[in-house]
Structures are given as structure tokens and as C-alpha cells.
Chains A and B, each alone.
Chain A
Amino acid sequence: MAFPWGVWFEPVQPVARIVDLARLAEAHGAEVCFLADEGTDRDLYVALTAVVLGTERMTVAPAITNPFSRHPVTTAAAIATLAELAPGRVWHGLGVGGSRVLAPLDLVPQRPYSDLRDAFEVNRSLLTGGEVGTARLNWSKEAVPIAIAGRGPRVQALAAREADWVILSAEPPVSLPQAAARLRVNGAKVAWSAYLAYGAEQRSRVLGHFSYMAIDAPPAIRERAGLSDGRVDAIRVEMLAGRLDAAAALLPDALVDEYAVAGDPEGCARRIASLARSFDLFMLPMNDIEHCDEHIVASAEILSRAQALT
């Protein structure tokens, strides 16, 4: 059975460009558009509104937003408004955020897991007609699936237990089947996101994205990636100084093989096809800013081939 796929953007480009890219992706078969709530880039809900109005059928979702930069009731109202605007085309996506998200706002959560759990419960209640304190969105009529993203065991357990979707964005292909089996036990679906490194140029573009993962990932993941505490500290110093290229240079190239789908286009397609039973949705992140158009088109061909192979 062919699997659905979608595109995942960071709002680092003008909204009109994001809408154009979403349209391009939709024309090439993408069914979902995730938009990140990152740092102090374009606003998530304004941009999602533009995307949902600018596309025909795509499902859109924040992927992910956090419990800290907006009050949970404000977040729920934003999601419900989008859902009213485009019935059946909106999901919600929550996570604890990370350095890329919260540091620019100087937000330092003291209880990230508990706050995520509370925000999830508030959002789910309000989006299903419930009351939370004096808050109630009694006009909200659309069912909205909720996704949770996270790398740590507690967040993933929460996602598996409570959410409609679990977003896996740093799960190595090799361990995806095991992770999916664990996360699907209560019926949650798995949206797996992996960078596609279908050539030398793409490998180098992909590597830089692992800087934030290196900083925010739980110790077990960092250890598996060969990232010592000292190396992570050095990466953090470079990133805080805004030297992203220098940070990327400290990352082992083997991370691409570990965490991305790497190889030539046919090899990437076969790898994805071989894992298709372990995800319900494949989410394609952008490898860089400048080449999104060609990346979407090239990746669509790979994903189409992978679909044909399943």
C-alpha cells in the first residue's frame, strides 16, 4: 500500500515562498504540510493560515509548537480557528521545544515534560468541546488529530499513550521498526521524518541539521552518535555564537548515515520502501533554504519510487 508523505518547513523564508513551496509539493503528491514553530522566525499560525488558503487539499499542522511561548488556550483557539477555516485539513502538533525554539525567547522551562502533558490535556479538552477552568471554545466543531513529537522516553511514552500521531524526527532508520512497534501499541500512528541525502551535495546540506539534535537529544542518543559531552559543549558554543557552519564542522559525517536516508536516489527509495511498514506518514524536511524547489521535486521522485516498491 502506498504511504502518504508530506513536507516539513521551517518558517525561515517569506510566507509567499512557503506557500509556493507547499503548492509545489502538493502538485507532486504531498498530502501534509508541517510548519515548525522556531525561535523568532515567521509566526506559525499566520503562515499556516496562508498555506491552508493557498493549497487545495493539504493537511497542515504546527510541528511542533510548545507550551511556553503562547498560553495553551491561545494555542487551542488558533488550532480551532484553522480547523474552522479548513475543515478536515488541520492537525495539532505539540512538543517541549528545544534550544532552537526557546533560547531566542529566553524561555527556560523548569518542568518541560509536565508542562507538555498539561498543555496537551488542555488542548485536547478544549478542542473536543470541554472546559478548562473558565476557558471553553464552544464554537469549535472540527475534530483535530493531535500529534506529539519528542525524542525522550517520557515524551514518547506520553505520545504513544495519548496522542493520535507520534512524530519521530531523529529516529535512525535502523531502529525505526523497533520504535514504531513500541509507539503503535495503543493505536497511535507514526509520522517519520528523515532527511534524504541522495548525493554528496545533499550529504553536506543534511549534516548541519544535526547540530540542534546534538545539543537537545537525550544522552543515550548522543552517545550512540559518538558525541561526547565535550564535543557537544563545543557545538553549543559555536551555535550560540551564530556560527552554524563551524558547529556543523564539529559533527561526525557518520551522523548522516546513522540518522538520514543516504545513498543514491534508487538506494534511498529502496531504503524507505523497506521501512514503509514502520511508519504511517513520511515527512520530508528541507535540506537547505535555497534549493527547496529542486529538493521537493527530486524527493517526490524518490518517494514515488518508494511507494511503487511497497
Chain B
Amino acid sequence: MTFTGLGLSLSNEGRLHDTLAIAQRADALGLDEVSLPESRQHRAVMSAAAATLATTERVGVRVGIANPVTRHPAVLAMEAATLAEIGGPQRLAFGVGAAVWTMRALGYEPAGWQPYTQVVETVRGLRRWLAGEELGFQPTTFAGDPSNRLDFTPVGPIRIDVGAVNGRMMEAAGEIADGVQLGALVSPGYVRWSRDRLATGAARADRSVDELLVSSNVLCSVGTDRVEARAAVREVLAYYLWRVEGVVVETSGADPDDVAAVRTAVAANGPAAGAARVSEHLVDTFACAGTVDDVIDQLGAFADAGLHLPLAWHTLGPDPHHALELLAGPIRSAVVHT
């Protein structure tokens, strides 16, 4: 199997100019998409996405993902519609999710917060608003009236994906979204499990899971030296193994004892200590790391599991600049259906 595209998942933790420089390079090199997160208290994703769309030519831009808690869901619709005006709707993928981790970091969990219901109502609202229609229902998780609509007619259609990790949200994505963006850490096993949940949700809407785009961050590290490339993912892998939801590990096929050892080390002494406990088996399970041929093989396992759009992220490689060229060059050529 091959992918529909190969993208990058960027961070908003560094200077916006640096993020833009990477996005512009990805654009020039021919990668298909860059995903920008709303990561806790870092750069604002909407300005980052707007600047990326405004300063690149063709690469797709994904908001991956924004939440309906720190702004009114109608603001999300305004943001999506305005971004689509800048780059054209075909270049935009707009992800929405509960962002529980972000809310915790902000110390902002509204009384009576219902993350699942809020995401579902938000996506339903976005569908209507971005189609130029009235909201059409009485929301229970945000202020609104069924007659609410945008004051302008958005250009579209605009892709709306749901950021999902657990089964319930995954099924909701299958039922109501154009696609799903999986969480921070994935494995082929977890992708397979996610597709099953998506299929269940899709069936509720009388459609096929094949109509959904399954995208995900995938830990990637590529370089000419296999050992160095694999070493480059260990610390970030340790961090996410420590914090990630149980289902992600349980469906991965990873050895529970290996995972427990990493978690214990991270909890006690931080990610660097955890990195020392990351086994080769864990790298093979959760990352695509090594030489170009290694990464092509490992990505193939994700494609076979049903992933459509991998978003290479985090280290990229011991030499990120060179890694970007490898990803956009021989790796993309091998794994993307053209």
C-alpha cells in the first residue's frame, strides 16, 4: 500500500520565523502537507497557519488540532473560513479536538465540561456554518441559537478532521468528520485499531471508512547512520510513552514490561533518563527510524494498517535539514501514490 501524501508535523514551540522557514522548505521540496498544533501556551496556531498559507505556494496546511474550549466554536468557524480565504480551501485541513492536555496545562477545565459532546457539537456546527448555513440545532455545550450563522459566505468546501485518541472520539470522527488526526504517538497496531473504531462510526452515518482520511503524526528519524537516526527518537518516545493514553500502548503490541520501565524512569528522572530505557523493540513499534530504506519499510507497515497521510514529526533525523531532503525525495517517491 502507499499513502495519499507525506507531510510534516511542526511545532509552535520555536520562533514562528523558524517554523515558517521549515514550512517554506517543505513547500519547495514537494512535501504534501504541514501540520501546525495548538500546543499549550506556545505560538498561536491560527496566526502560524495564516502566515504559512500566505508565504507558501502549494503545500497543504493542517490545523492539527484546535479546541472549542478556549474560544467560542463560532470563532473556530471564522478562523477556518478566513484561513481558507488566504490559501484556498483545497490547501486547508482544519482539525478540531477536545485538547484535554492543553486545557490541563492552562488550568482551564470549565465546570461541567463535556469534551466529547462539545467536540461533536462543534463539528456539527462547523459543518453548517462553513456551508453557509444556520447552526440548525440548540447546542448544549456552548452559547448559541439555532439561527446563528456566519456573516459571510465561506469559500469551500473546507476539510474538517477530528483529533481523536480514544475509541469513543474515534467513532465520532468516523460518523461526523472528513477524517481523523490521530494522537502524538502511534503504531501500526494502533492505526489498525483506530480504523476499526472509525468504521463503526462511519457505519452509523451509512458511509464507508474508506471515505475518511486517516492522518497521524509519525515519529520519524532518517539519516545515513542507522544507529544515530534511531537514537534521535528515543527521548521524545520516552516522553510520550510516559504521558500517552493507555489504549495507544495496549493496541501497539509493545512489550508492557519495556513500556513500564520507560515510564518509571521518566517519572523518576525525566525524559532523558527514560530514553536510556527505550528498547530497540519500542523504537520499531512506535517510530520510523534509521536509513532511507528502513524508514520506507517501516512506513509501509503504517500504510498496510490503513494510515493515509503520515506527518513526520519531531526529530526528523540527526541532521534535520538533510532529513527533510530525504523525506521529500527518495522516501516520498517510494511511499506516496502519484
Contact = CB atoms under 8 A, between A and B. Distances in A.
Interface of A: 11-12, 14-16, 38-43, 45-50, 53-54, 68-71, 73-74, 77-78, 80-82, 84-85, 104-108, 133-137, 139
A272 B289 CA distance: 67
B71 A74 contact: yes
A105 B74 contact: yes
A139 B43 contact: yes
A42 B50 CA distance: 12
Interface string B1-30: 000000000000101110000000000000
Contacts of A69: 71-72, 74-75
A137 B69 CA distance: 19
Contact of B46 (A38, A46, A53, A80): A46
Nearest to B43: A81
B106 A134 contact: yes
B145 A43 contact: no
B105 A71 contact: no
A46 B79 contact: yes
Contact of B70 (A11, A38, A48, A73): A73
A47 B82 contact: yes
Contact of A41 (B50, B71, B143, B151): B151
Contacts of B42: 77, 139
Given A49-B46, A73-B41, A77-B41, 17 more contacts: A15-B86, A40-B148, A40-B151, A41-B152, A43-B82, A49-B50, A50-B86, A54-B54, A68-B72, A69-B75, A74-B44, A74-B70, A77-B42, A78-B44, A78-B46, A105-B143, A139-B42
Interface string B32-51: 00000000011110111111
A77 B44 contact: yes
Contacts of B129: 40
A27 to B, nearest CB: 20
Interface string B147-162: 0111110000000000
B108 interface: yes
A50 B47 CA distance: 9
B128 to A, nearest CB: 12
B51 A73 contact: no
A83 B51 CA distance: 13
B55 A53 contact: yes
A43 B75 contact: yes
B78 A70 contact: no
Given A70-B70, A107-B143, A85 B152 contact: no
A104 B54 contact: no
Contacts of A108: 143
Contacts of B74: 40, 69, 104-105
Nearest to B75: A69
B16 A84 contact: yes
Contact of A71 (B50, B51, B71): B71
Contact of B82 (A15, A70, A73, A85): A15
Given A53-B55, A69-B75, A136-B41, A14 B85 contact: yes
B43 A46 contact: no
B71 A85 contact: no
Contacts of B78: 40-43
B296 to A, nearest CB: 36
B112 interface: no
30 contacts: A11-B82, A38-B151, A40-B78, A41-B151, A45-B44, A47-B82, A49-B50, A49-B51, A53-B51, A53-B55, A69-B75, A71-B71, A73-B41, A74-B44, A77-B41, A77-B42, A78-B47, A81-B16, A81-B43, A81-B47, A81-B48, A84-B16, A84-B43, A104-B148, A105-B143, A107-B143, A135-B106, A135-B107, A136-B41, A137-B41
With most chain B CB atoms within 10 A of its CB, the pick from A40, A46, A82, A106 is A46
B41 A16 contact: no
Nearest to B76: A43
Contacts of A45: 44, 46-47, 50, 79
B144 interface: yes
Nearest to A139: B42
B83 A46 contact: yes
B77 interface: yes
Task: Name the 3 nearest CB pairs between A and B, nearest first.
Answer: A71-B70, A49-B50, A46-B82
A1 to B, nearest CB: 34
B182 interface: no
Contacts of B69: 71
With most chain A CB atoms within 10 A of its CB, the pick from B13, B42, B71, B85 is B85
A44 to B, nearest CB: 8
B81 interface: yes
A73 B69 CA distance: 12
With most chain A CB atoms within 10 A of its CB, the pick from B77, B82, B148 is B82
Contact of B144 (A12, A68, A105): A105
Interface in B183-210: none
Contacts of B108: 71, 73
A63 to B, nearest CB: 17
Nearest to A11: B82
A145 to B, nearest CB: 18
A12 B16 contact: no
A84 B72 CA distance: 25
Nearest to B69: A71
Given A42-B81, A43-B79, A134-B106, A85 B17 contact: yes
A134 B143 contact: no
B50 A70 contact: no
A50 B51 CA distance: 7
Contact of A106 (B15, B17, B83, B144): B144
Contacts of B48: 81
B331 to A, nearest CB: 31
Contact of B43 (A41, A77, A107, A133): A77
Contacts of B144: 105-106
A148 B156 CA distance: 36
